């Protein structure tokens, strides 16, 4: 009976993980007519807390990313409204800031790379008057994960790839109606004609799904 109860608990936990999408990583980029913008990155682990699977939480180094980003970019000229939040009870970790233009965003990334994450791509995105482009860093993400020995992202839980339970979403808000989208088959225009979304899982990205896109508006 005890073995049955343990198996039942594990099965229910797995089902809950699959139904609640385990981990959510959301990137939001808002571009304004003057080419300035807002950038935010949110890691949502609330599903882990709800299912009692706290053991699957990322390392403290990853969970501290809001403060790491805040410390790196807050003094960069052209960066403002820097906000970092780490709500361990709710499992929400996020950071946001405003950038004057994509060149300022590049400087912020270079500053961040110098402090902590040397793998960040300086030419991550570019915003023009009628065009926005975002670089595909999927191959770089795969390279970083694959070179780590015993990375939990390459393992499975009860036959399910951990990477497949990590949902990745990018939301791009443009200053005008979107005319066309290129270089990403997963990128779609939403019901709001000025918003584009790209949805995938980390497993998709490791298998070659692009994280980049070109949007004309």
Question: What is the domain partition of the chain in residue ranges?
Answer: 2-216
Question: Which pLDDT score, from 0 to 100, does residue 213 have?
Answer: 98
CA–CA gap between residue 209 and residue 75 (Å, rounded): 34
Question: Which pLDDT score, from 0 to 100, does residue 53 have?
Answer: 54
Asked if 107 and 76 count as a contact pair (C-beta separation under 8 A), the reply is yes
- Locate 74 and state its tokens: 């807050």
* Residue found by looking up tokens 């926005």 in the block: 132
Written as tens digits, the pLDDT of the chain (217 aa) is 443 343 343 433 444 444 445 789 999 999 999 999 999 999 998 876 655 555 555 677 777 889 999 998 999 999 999 999 999 888 899 999 999 999 999 989 888 876 544 455 668 999 999 999 999 999 988 888 888 777 767 667 666 777 888 899 999 999 999 999 999 999 999 999 999 999 999 999 999 999 999 999 9
């Amino acid at each position: 009976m005890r073995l049955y109860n343990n198996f039942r608990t594990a099965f229910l936990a797995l089902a809950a993980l699959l139904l609640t999408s385990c981990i959510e990583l959301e990137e939001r980029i808002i571009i304004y007519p003057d080419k300035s913008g807002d950038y935010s990155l949110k890691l949502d682990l609330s599903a882990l807390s709800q299912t009692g699977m706290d053991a699957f939480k990322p390392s403290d180094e990853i969970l501290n990313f809001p403060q790491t980003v805040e410390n790196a970019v807050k003094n960069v000229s052209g960066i403002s409204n820097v906000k970092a939040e780490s709500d361990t009870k709710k499992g929400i970790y996020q950071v946001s800031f405003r950038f004057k233009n994509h060149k300022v965003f590049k400087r912020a990334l270079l500053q961040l790379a110098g402090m902590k994450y040397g793998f960040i791509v300086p030419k991550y995105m570019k915003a023009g008057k009628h065009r926005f482009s975002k670089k595909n860093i999927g191959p770089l993400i795969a390279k970083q994960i694959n070179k780590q020995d015993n990375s939990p992202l390459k393992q499975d839980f009860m036959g399910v790839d951990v990477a497949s339970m990590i949902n990745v979403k990018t939301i791009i808000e443009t200053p005008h109606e979107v005319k066309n989208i290129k270089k990403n088959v997963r990128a779609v225009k939403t019901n709001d004609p000025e918003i584009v979304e790209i949805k995938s899982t980390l497993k998709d990205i490791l298998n070659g799904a692009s994280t980049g896109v070109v949007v004309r508006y």
